[in-house]
Amino acid sequence: MVSQVYGNILVESDIADSQGPISSLEHTATDGIHLVKVENLSTIPYDVRVSVELPQGTARLAFIVAGSTEDSWKAEAWSLAGSDSENLDCQLDCRANGPASERIHCIAVRWRKPKRHRWHSATKDLPLSLIVQIV
């Protein structure tokens, strides 16, 4: 798991299976997910958007987005209450035939107070890079 604070938002990136967080992904796995936890560290509600990509492409690992194989995914948490968190996730398609190492990058984090407030974008400490060991 990797984490970083952006403004008042803590972002954690990890992989998991149906049992919870895992340290590596079996190359035969069918239940892997990429999990991005966003936590509001303030007392004011925020909308949060994250964008994630596979910088090495989809040869060994891919995201399943609306039934399609993709190299990126996006998600939002709306009106995230103060001191609350939400898990955003995307199914993983492990395509490796054996051991490999893949990176998952959280490339954009944006947040705003709900309604008509302007979006703020993280400008440093990106990408948030998670290295996935495929065994």
pLDDT tens digit sequence for 21-52: 999 999 988 899 999 999 999 999 999 999 99
Q: Indicate whether 18 pLDDT > 90.
A: no
CB atoms within 10 A of CB 39: 19
Q: What CATH code is carried by the domain that includes residue 32?
A: 2.60.40.10
Q: How many domains does the chain contain in total?
A: 1
Q: Residues 44-88: pLDDT tens digits?
A: 999 999 999 999 999 999 999 999 999 999 999 999 998 999 999
Full residue range of the structural domain in which residue 39 is found: 2-134
51-80 per-residue burial string, b: 16 or more CB within 10 A, e: under 16: bbbbeeeeebbbbeeeeeeeeebebebeeb
Tally DSSP H helices, then E strands, for the chain.
0, 12
Q: Indicate whether 115 pLDDT > 90.
A: no
Q: Indicate whether 107 pLDDT > 90.
A: yes
